[in-house]
Amino acid sequence: MKDFLNNLTEKVNEAKDAVADSLSLDKLTEKIGSISEGAKEKTINTANELIGLTPIIEEIGFKTTGISVTMGLPPDITFHFMKSEDVSPERRKEILETHKDKALLGTIVKMLVTTDEYRDKLKLGSFKFSNIDICIGLTPGMTIQLVPHNTPVQH
């Protein structure tokens, strides 16, 4: 994954330089085309790997409510999660130990738990927690979605 992101960053920088140097749409299109097949393949492989992790992530207390794949420059995958139950840190550790061969699992779980702990500190007022979105791509990130109490939670 790190090699993929480094390669993608390099290609994005080359594309940016092509635009800045010559403002040539043809050069930009060529750069995007040169990464598209490799990026598509890596994005598909990563999506499949993460989809395979969803049953384990559900054991840890988070249900996958959706997956968004963006085939752009750069490509990314966003997984949408909803907390389904409270699982003790000891149980989470036990589950992670059982599946320690799955490199992305620990990262995803850490992101979910960190985001959930952050959410617990928010003063929600008239809002309720809806989703945690985790984006895996050139710039990974997490998003917490809050909606008014009278809004149905998206599944």
**98 secondary structure, DSSP code:** H
- Does residue 26 lie in a domain region? yes
- Does residue 154 lie in a domain region? no
Q: Which long-range contacts (CB under 8 A, 24 or more apart) does 95-102 make?
A: 95/56, 95/59, 95/60, 96/60, 99/56, 102/53, 102/56
What is the rounded CA–CA span in Å between residue 50 and residue 44?
Answer: 10
At residue 109 the predicted structure's pLDDT band, cuts being 50, 70 and 90, is confident
What pLDDT does residue 19 have? 47
What is the rounded CA–CA span in Å between residue 36 and residue 19?
Answer: 18
The number of distinct structural domains making up the chain is 1
Instruction: Give the tokens for residue 17.
Output: 């330089």
- Does residue 60 lie in a domain region? yes
What pLDDT does residue 103 have? 81
What pLDDT does residue 45 have? 83
Per-residue pLDDT of 122-150, as tens digits, reads: 777 777 777 888 888 777 777 777 778 77
What pLDDT does residue 115 have? 82
What pLDDT does residue 125 have? 77
Per-residue pLDDT of 18-46, as tens digits, reads: 545 544 556 656 665 665 666 677 777 88
Terminal Cα distance for the chain, rounded: 29
Give the domain extent around 127.
2-148
Per-residue pLDDT of 38-81, as tens digits, reads: 667 777 788 888 889 999 999 999 999 988 887 666 778 888 99
Q: Which of 95, 47, 104 is nearest to 70 (CA)?
A: 47
- Does residue 117 lie in a domain region? yes
- Does residue 153 lie in a domain region? no
Rounded mean pLDDT of 105-129? 80
What pLDDT does residue 35 have? 57
Instruction: Give the tokens for residue 124.
Output: 């929600």
Q: Which of residues 103 and 85 earns the better pLDDT score? A: 85
Mean of the per-residue pLDDT values for the chain? 76
pLDDT at 100 over 80: yes
